[in-house]
Amino acid sequence: MSAQGVAVLLSWLSCCGWALWRYSTNTKNYLIFSTRSTIKLEYEGTLFSEWKVPKTCSVKNKRSPRTEMHCSSPGFQNIKPIVTGPDLEEERYLYVASSNICFMWYYKIINISPNFIQVIIWIYDPEHASPNELLWNTTKPSLNSAILSKQMATLGQRPVIYTFLRRKVYFPFIRLKNGAWVIAVPITTDDVLQEIKGNNVAFQDCFIADSLLPLILPWFTIPETPGFLPISSPQGSQLISNWDACAPASVVVVADVETFQTNDSFHTWTRIRVPTGSLTDNERHSVSDVTLTEDGIFFLIHGVLYVRSLTAFTRLGKKENLPEGDIIGITTRKWCWIKYLMKAKRRSSMAIWTKQELYLGYTSLKFSKITSTNKLQKILNISSAATLTIHNVEYTGHPLELALLLNYCVQCNVIKKIYLVIYNEDKQDWTYQDFALDVTVDSFISLHFLYSAMPELILWDKKKIYYCYHNFTDTGVLQMPAEFGIVSRNSNIHDVYIDYYGNIVVKMENNVMFYFKINIRDAVKLHLWTNNTTKSFILLNISGYMYLLHVFKNGTIYPQDYPLTLELQSITFKTKEKCPFVAFHYNIFKVFYILDKGQNLSIWSRIVYPENMVLYIIVELYGPKILEMREQVQYEITLGYCTKTMTLTFFQNINYEAVEDYFNLQYQNTGLLLLQVRPSQYGKTCPIPPKVFQIAVGCDNSKYIVVKGFNNKECLPHDFFYIIEKSFLRNQPSENLRVKYSWKKYGCPLRLDFREKFQPLIQLYDDSGFIEDVEVNFIVWEIHGRNDYSFNNTMKKSGCLNEAQTWKSMTKLNKDLPLEAVWGPENYKHCFSYAIGKPGDLNQPYEIINKSNYNHLIWPLRHTGMYVFRVKILDPNYSFCNLTAIFAIEIYGLIPSPNGYLVFSFLFLLMLLFFSILIFSYFHYMRIYKQYIYEPIYKTERKQKNY
C-alpha cells in the first residue's frame, strides 16, 4: 500500500474505527495449512460487505464477517474483504499448500516425579477433532482420535521421542491402550528440545506431521492468595514482560491492571499479587521493570528492587549488597546456552544498575558490585572532566558476556554520545567496542543482541531502529517503508522481537508491526492483526513459535498464535522478493562441542545458488585464539547452479609434556569460542536460520574413567572394618590402621589369589556411554598408605634408558604435598631418553602401567589383605581433566603371620592359666584327701541308755 493510501487509511480509522481481518485453522501454530484445511476468516470492524476470494476457493457464507473457506488448488490465494466506504482493506496472498500430511500428534505431559514425566500420545485429525482437543484441554483421546490411533497402530504406527541435543530415543513401554501410547522421559536441563516422530505409515494417503515436544522444566508457580492486592505498571503504560531464557514458556507480564505469570505460554496462568501493607497504593501501581529467575519475580519500583517468591514479598537493599534506591534498570539473559565452559566459579543470572554502578545477581539472592563509572573512566581512558553514566545494560549472545551502553558528554545540553563496552564474566575484563552513537540528551536507547557468534545487535529509540552487524563493522539506521513514517507520527516503538531463526519484528504501541531479518538493512510492514486499543506483547511459545498475548482492561488475557511465515509469504509474494540462494546445508547438529587434548572437530557446509550470483560461505569466530583451523573448499557448476562446499577442521597442536608450568599452559589454551556459519547474502524469504554453536576447549565434566572388570552387583552391599598392620604402611606408623570399607565409595572388591597378577584396564566413559579403552600411561596407589605390593616389570625390562620416576622418588621431591598430589601429568617425565633423567638402578620395579606394557600388580607377601587403589592418568597430552578412579582388590591366601609380642603374651597367659589350674587342683584335692584319711567315712550312731 502506498504512503498516501496509508495516510488516508489512518485518518479514516481515526474517525470511523479500527478495521482489520484475520484467519486461522484448527491446527496449532498453523502447522497444516493446505487444501484439506478449513480456513476460518474473521473481519473486525463495522463496514463489512462480503469476502472476495478466487474461483479455486469456496466460502461458506460470503456475507458473514466470520466464515469458513476451503481452497481446492494449491498456491497463493488472493483474499480480501469488501467494505462499504473507501476500499482500503488489505489483501493477503495466502499460500495454501498441497500436502499429504493431514494428521498430528496430540500429547499430554504428566509429571510423575521430579526427574521423570509421562507423555501420553495419540493421533488426531484437526478437521475432525473434538473441541477440547483443538483447545488442548483434554487428557484422553476423543472417539474419532481413538479409532484413528488404533487404525494407524494396526498398520504399524508407533510414536517415539527423539531428543535434539543428546540424541536419545524413548519408546512406548506399553502397547496402545485406550487409544493412546505412554512414553516415560527423564527430565534433564541439557536435553529439553525433543520431537515426536512416527513410522512412515499412511492412512487414506495421509501421513502424520512430526511434532516438537519441548519439555516444560519444573518451575515455581506463585499461587493466588486471598486478600492480597494487585501489583501493576502505571495507568496507560505498555505491557512489560520477561521470561526465562531456557524456559520461554515461563513468562511474567506486567500490565496496568495486573501482573500475570505462566509456565505453559499462558495456556494456564495466575495473577501475581502482594501482601496488604507491603507497598503503598502508589508503589503497587508503579512497576517500571520486571525480571524472572529461579529465585522469584523481581519488580523495580521507584528505584528499589523487590522480589516475590513462593512464600514472601521482600524488599532488597544493603543487606543483599544492593542500593536502597536509584536503581534504573534490571535485565536477564535473552538466549539460552544450557552447556558452556566457564573457568570462573559462577555465572550471573541478572544484572542491576544505577547511573554510576553495575551489580550482578546470582542464585540464592546473592549480589555483587562489579564496577562503577569511575573505574570505567580509567579503563576507557576518559577525561574526568566529562560526564559518564550507565545508560542501559543487556546480556549479549555470548553465554558469559554482557554489554553496557554508556552516556558520555561534556556540556550535556543537547547531544550526548552512546558508547558500548562488553564485560566477560569468565575473564573478568572489559572490552571497548568500536561503536558510537550521537543522540539527544533526552533519548533512551534500548537494545537486543542477536543470536550470532560475533556481537551483533539492534538498538532503537521511540522512532528509529539502528543495526550493528558483523562485530560493529556494518552499522546504520534501518531503512523503513514509507508507512513507518506515517505510523510513527501517531505511535512509538514498543518492543523488538527476535527469535533463534533470525526473525525480527518491530511492534509499535498501536500494534502495527514491521519485519526484517538478521543481516538485513531494510524492513517491510506486516498486515494488521490486532486493533490499536488492545494491549499486546510478542512472545515465544513452548514449541518455538511466535504468539501474541492480549491483555484486556477487565484483567483477562488471551494468547493467540501468530502465523509469521504465512504473513511474510504474503508480503514478499507481492514484492517479488526471493532468497539469493537455493539451498544451504551443514552437518552441525549440536550447539555445544567440547574438544579435549588430541581431539579435533571437522564440519562442512554447502551452499547452492544460481551461477549468475556471487555467493560464498562465511565462517565467523569469536573468542580466544586457542584453535588452529584447516580449510578446504570444493566448487562445481551443474545445470546453471553453483555448489560450494567448505570443510573446516579445528584442532590444537600443543605438547604439554615436561613444560615448566603445566597448569598455566593448560589455562592459557582452554576457553570458549562461538562460531557461526552463514551465507554471504541473506534475504527475508530465506528459511535457513543462523547456525551458531560453541567449541569449548577444556575438560569435559561428563567424562570419567573406570577400571574394567568391576561390577557392584557381585557382592552384598555393606560396610565393614578391617585392620592394616603398621609394618605394611608406607609411613611406618606406631600403630595399626583401622579402616572402614565404604561400599558406596569403593564398590565390590575383586577377589584374587595371592599368586594372581593383576593389570588394570582403564576405560573412558561419558554421559552417553563407553568411548574407548585408555592406552596411555597411568599410575596407581593404595589410598590408605599400604605399600606391600609391587610390579612385575622392571625399568630395564620396560626399556628405560635412565632411572624412571617412582612413588619413592616423587614423594622425596614433594615432601609437603599429599600422596595423591606428588605425582601426576604436571610433573611426569619419561625414562626412554638419555637426555631426560639420570642413570640409576634399572632393576627397580617400573611403577607406570599402560594397556600394552604388560606391567602387573603383584603381591609379594603371601597373606590375605584388602587393597583400595586409586588410578590416575599420567600422560600430560591425554586430557585436560584430572581423570581418576577407585577400585578395590581382596587378596586371599595364607593367614597373616602373627606379631611376636602378641604370640609371647598369649602363650604367657596360657601357661599362667595352666599353672594356676594345676595349683588350684592340688590344694583342692589335698583338702579332700585329708578329709577322708583322718575322719571316718561313716559315723556310728549310739543309743543312749536311760536310767
Contact 93, 574 (CB under 8 A): yes
In angstroms, the CA 783 to CA 785 distance is 6
Q: How confident is the model at residue 938 (pLDDT cuts 50, 70, 90)?
A: very low
Residue 107 has pLDDT above 70, yes or no: yes
Q: Which long-range contacts (CB under 8 A, 24 or more apart) does 300-305 make?
A: 300/327, 300/329, 300/330, 303/327, 303/328, 305/330, 305/352
Q: What pLDDT digit, counting tens, does each position of 816-848 carry?
A: 899 999 999 999 999 999 888 888 899 999 999
Overall average pLDDT of the 625-636 stretch: 94
Q: How confident is the model at residue 903 (pLDDT cuts 50, 70, 90)?
A: low
Q: How confident is the model at residue 902 (pLDDT cuts 50, 70, 90)?
A: low
Question: Pick the residue with more confidence: 314 or 116?
Answer: 314
Residue 10 has pLDDT above 80, yes or no: no
* CATH for the 583-697 domain, from 1.10.1130, 2.60.40, 2.40.50, 3.10.50: 2.60.40
Question: What is the model's pLDDT at position 205?
Answer: 87
Q: What angle do CA 642, 645, 651 make, to 5 degrees?
A: 165
How do 101-111 and 207-209 pair as beta strands? parallel
Question: Chain-wide mean pLDDT for the chain?
Answer: 89
Supply φ then ψ for residue 303, to 5 degrees.
80, 5
Hey, which residues does 763 pair with through a beta bridge?
706, 773
Give Cα separations from 913 to 885, 899, 909, 922 (angstroms). 52, 21, 6, 14
DSSP code of residue 193:
-
Contact 509, 217 (CB under 8 A): no
Identical fold, 101-214 and 229-480:
no
Contact 451, 502 (CB under 8 A): yes
Question: What is the model's pLDDT at position 907?
Answer: 77
Question: What is the model's pLDDT at position 934?
Answer: 58
Residue 793 has pLDDT above 50, yes or no: yes
Contact 777, 832 (CB under 8 A): no
In angstroms, the CA 123 to CA 209 distance is 10
Question: What is the model's pLDDT at position 445?
Answer: 96
pTM here is: 0.87
One-letter amino acid for residue 365 of the chain:
L
Question: What is the model's pLDDT at position 927?
Answer: 76
List the helix and strand counts (H, then E) for the chain.
11, 63
Q: How confident is the model at residue 898 (pLDDT cuts 50, 70, 90)?
A: low
Question: What is the model's pLDDT at position 1?
Answer: 41
Fold entry, domain 101-214 = Immunoglobulin-like (2.60.40)
**How deeply is 726 buried, as exposed, middle or buried, from its count of CB atoms within 10 A (0-12, 13-18, 19+)?**
middle
Residue 654 has pLDDT above 70, yes or no: yes
Q: What pLDDT digit, counting tens, does each position of 36-91 carry?
A: 999 999 999 888 999 999 999 999 999 999 999 999 999 999 999 999 876 667 89
Least trusted range by pLDDT, from 159-173, 356-370, 606-620: 159-173
Which residues lie below 8 Å from residue 137, measured CB to CB, with a gap of 6+? none
One-letter amino acid for residue 208 of the chain:
I
Q: What pLDDT digit, counting tens, does each position of 542-594 carry?
A: 777 899 999 998 989 999 999 999 999 999 998 898 999 999 999 998 889 99
* Domain spans of the chain, in order of start: 21-96, 101-214, 229-480, 481-577, 583-697, 704-892, 898-926
Question: What is the model's pLDDT at position 218?
Answer: 65
Contact 54, 86 (CB under 8 A): no
- Counting every residue written for the chain, the total comes to 947
Residue with cell 572402614: 740
Question: What is the model's pLDDT at position 3?
Answer: 41
Q: How confident is the model at residue 895 (pLDDT cuts 50, 70, 90)?
A: low
In angstroms, the CA 763 to CA 395 distance is 41
Overall average pLDDT of the 231-260 stretch: 93
Residue 610 has pLDDT above 60, yes or no: yes
Give Cα separations from 306 to 235, 296, 323, 327 (angstroms). 20, 10, 12, 11
In angstroms, the CA 882 to CA 729 distance is 26
Question: What is the model's pLDDT at position 894?
Answer: 59
Question: What is the model's pLDDT at position 936?
Answer: 54
Residue 306 has pLDDT above 80, yes or no: yes
Contact 169, 198 (CB under 8 A): no
CATH number of 229-480: 2.130.10.10
Contact 117, 108 (CB under 8 A): no
Question: What is the model's pLDDT at position 6?
Answer: 40
Q: How confident is the model at residue 11 (pLDDT cuts 50, 70, 90)?
A: very low
Which of 701, 573, 545, 498 has the alpha carbon at shortest distance from 79?
573
Question: What is the model's pLDDT at position 945?
Answer: 42
Least trusted range by pLDDT, from 80-94, 196-210, 601-615: 80-94
Q: How confident is the model at residue 940 (pLDDT cuts 50, 70, 90)?
A: very low
